[in-house]
Amino acid sequence: MINQHPLITMSAIREDRLDILKTRLETIRINLLNSQMAEAPTEFGKVSTLHYGRWVILSRESFRDEPAVPVGIRLVLTTNYDGIGNNHCDYHLTELVTKLTTYIDDVYECCAGYPEPGERTEESRKNFLKKGIINTSAFYNGAPGRSVGQIHQEDALHQHIWNFLQNNKWSETTPAVEIHRAIRQEIDSRPEFDWSKEKAGVQGIKWPELIAYGLLFIVMLPLIILWVIYLFLFHELWDKKVTLSQSELDDAKINELKKVEDLFPQNQFTQVAVLKPGFARKLNFRIWMLRTRVLASYVFVKGKLLNIPTIHFARWVLIDNNKHVLFYSNFDGNWEQYLGDFIDQSGWGLTAIFCNTVKFPRTNFMGVLGMIPGMPMHFPGTKFVLTGGAYDEEHFLAWSRSTQFPTQVWYCPYRHLSIKNVNNNTMIRNELREDLTEEQAQLFLKRF
């Protein structure tokens, strides 16, 4: 099983070359879009380890709120990649600078410190990118263990079986197990699907780690309660009410974001927020990052992040001396659905993380009461349950849109597959090799 990893590298843009850089990124974006629309191979597709990737320009303009420290104009490259070999990051960077050499040179010669034309080698390019690498605080993968190659293979398998089912007439009385067997025979007769004879590794929930986490949580509970009360009394109560609504957002900015949205049924989201001042809020944010990191690798391994079933990859990254946070997501459907899912499925989880950033809609107990299973949205006569924060729908959506900033180039390697399709295709591959009961075989056939 190949694991997926996040890469993020940040470089200072030379101010005198900013306009050139913007033009070049736009050209890359248009070329990519045109190739994808024509279903033609893309430059990015040559990087065998690359899932999603994007370039964004991060500057003062990207921030809705006053940054906590002065920020320059930076180019941020993020990729989600397949970890191959012992030094997987190095392997991936080698692929990037050798397969995308022209793009890398075009883009990074607009950044400070990039090697001069005569000094550009695989090593010097890699070293430049390495210098800008920062740590990802929490990382989520909707299909753990699935490499880009595997996702494409399993897609082809699904399509082949789908066609096979269409091209054969099955009588209504044919048992499902028989059809299942016929499919297996068909696939076995095709050498191009030899790889499917080996079952795919699928990560399950890691129970021992999860139980250890649960025990630790119980042991820590008194401390956690004290911590929540402290934050409530000395921080949350003093938060100002936020009333910014969606209609009040800047039209030009929203239109710039929408220009590249909904071109096909997947979208990207890039956001930057400023952490609230003071040690307590920063510590609280890091506690939640730790928790998200733990759960993302032990529990959110079956295609759902905090119950949200539409995310391929997501990450949180602390930058600028841990004073600002970047949030990235690659998801199915459109912005409205995505944010709606966030509120409906895990408003409290989101509230707990983002309430530590400035001008987030006012919260009640930082959303943590949502950790108690079965908690209703509100008790009669009290507002201190699941209200405020992300549940303050109108103001939350406005917060979310206004802290989002434009993505210059976005690469999506399998734009015709939803994350549910990706996971379903793996199940098809694995169940194909199992001896199923009639009932199981019926459910197997429902996957097409």
Positions 183 through 242 that interact with other proteins (CB under 8 A) = none
Quick check: 254 binds other proteins (CB under 8 A)?
Answer: yes
The nearest distance, CB 350 to other proteins, in angstroms, is 14
The nearest distance, CB 423 to other proteins, in angstroms, is 9
Quick check: 392 binds other proteins (CB under 8 A)?
Answer: yes
Which amino acid type is present at position 179?
Answer: I
Quick check: 119 binds other proteins (CB under 8 A)?
Answer: no
Quick check: 21 binds other proteins (CB under 8 A)?
Answer: no
What is the secondary structure of 285-309 as a DSSP string?
Answer: HHHHHHHHHHHHHHTS-SS-BTTBT
The nearest distance, CB 363 to other proteins, in angstroms, is 14
Quick check: 34 binds other proteins (CB under 8 A)?
Answer: no
Q: Within its chain, how far is the Cα of 296 from the centroid?
A: 11
Sheet containing strand 4-12, strands side by side: 4-12, 74-82, 50-58, 409-411
Q: Check: CB of residue 352 under 8 Å from CB of residue 375.
A: no
Helices (H) and strands (E) in the chain, counts: 13, 8
Q: Which of 418, 426, 429, 436 binds other proteins (CB under 8 A)?
A: 418
Which helix (H) or strand (E) segment is 79 a member of?
strand 74-82
* Number of other residues whose CB lies within 10 A of the CB of residue 68: 17
Burial of 226-255, coded b for 16+ CB within 10 Å and e otherwise, reads ebbeebbeebbeebeebebeeeebeeebee
What would the x/- binding string for other proteins be over residues 35 to 54, using CB under 8 A?
--x-x---------------
Tokens 């194909």 locate to 432
Quick check: 59 binds other proteins (CB under 8 A)?
Answer: no
- Retrieve residue 190's tokens: 């095709």
Nearer to other proteins, 149 or 175 (CB): 175
Q: Check: CB of residue 273 under 8 Å from CB of residue 58.
A: no
Residue 73 to residue 15: CA distance in whole angstroms: 7
Quick check: 165 binds other proteins (CB under 8 A)?
Answer: yes
Residue 180 to residue 296: CA distance in whole angstroms: 34
Quick check: 378 binds other proteins (CB under 8 A)?
Answer: yes
What would the x/- binding string for other proteins be over residues 306 to 345, using CB under 8 A?
-x-x----------------------xxx-xx--x--xxx
Q: Which stretch binds other proteins (CB under 8 A): 97-105, 169-177, 201-209, 351-359?
A: 169-177
How do beta strands 266-274 and 50-58 pair? unpaired
Positions 270 through 299 that interact with other proteins (CB under 8 A) = none
- Retrieve residue 112's tokens: 């400070």
Quick check: 437 binds other proteins (CB under 8 A)?
Answer: no
Quick check: 174 binds other proteins (CB under 8 A)?
Answer: yes
Nearer to other proteins, 134 or 445 (CB): 445
Nearer to other proteins, 89 or 165 (CB): 165
Quick check: 176 binds other proteins (CB under 8 A)?
Answer: yes
The nearest distance, CB 52 to other proteins, in angstroms, is 17
The nearest distance, CB 437 to other proteins, in angstroms, is 13
The nearest distance, CB 393 to other proteins, in angstroms, is 4
By CB atoms closer than 10 A (0-12, 13-18, 19+), residue 360 is: buried
Quick check: 159 binds other proteins (CB under 8 A)?
Answer: yes
* Number of other residues whose CB lies within 10 A of the CB of residue 211: 11
Q: Between the CA of residue 445 and those of 11, 21, 402, 441, what are the distances in Å?
A: 50, 50, 44, 6
Binding site for other proteins (CB under 8 A): 37, 39, 158-159, 162, 165-166, 170, 172, 174-176, 179, 243, 245-249, 251, 254-255, 258-259, 261-265, 307, 309, 332-334, 336-337, 340, 343-345, 377-378, 387, 391-395, 416, 418, 420-421, 424, 441-443, 445-448
